[in-house]
Amino acid sequence: MRMGFDIRLAALGLATLTLAACGDPRPAFDGVTFRASLDAAKDTPELFVVEVRDAGKSLDGARAAGRYEAVRYCIETFGNSRIDWAQGPDAEASALQFDDGDLILKGQCAGW
């Protein structure tokens, strides 16, 4: 009887861990999950600024996370993924802008 209880408990624990791992909607970039936010003004929604926190964890990952946020925003807001970058993720590392360790990207959804 004890054996059956232990197996059920182990199965419940495994199911809980599996569901918990699926609970984070943020994808990982270069093996790191970044917190990123995008701001756009109401009167000029095509212009946006993306902030990717703790970019030092992986600069390549932070660039990808920023691009992901921008593309997602442009698709959801304007129906396409074209972006004209003013300060984009493909810039040389020395040209990137940081604010207290956070990567700052700026762009405009194109073709709206």
Flag whether 9 is in a domain.
no
Flag whether 21 is in a domain.
no
pTM for the model stands at: 0.76
Flag whether 18 is in a domain.
no
Flag whether 76 is in a domain.
yes
Please give the tally of structural domains in the chain: 1
* Confidence check: pLDDT of 68 > 70: yes
Lowest mean pLDDT among 12-16, 38-42, 46-50, 66-70: 12-16
Flag whether 95 is in a domain.
yes
pLDDT tier at 63, thresholds 50, 70, 90? very high
**Which residue range(s) make up the domain with 69?**
27-109
Flag whether 62 is in a domain.
yes
Flag whether 2 is in a domain.
no
Flag whether 6 is in a domain.
no
SS3 letters across the chain: CHHHHHHHHHHHHHHHHHHHHHCCCCCEECCEECCEEEECCCCCCCEEEEEECCHHHCHHHHHHHHHHHHHHHHHHHHCCCCEEEEECCCCCHHHCEEECCEEEEEEEECCC
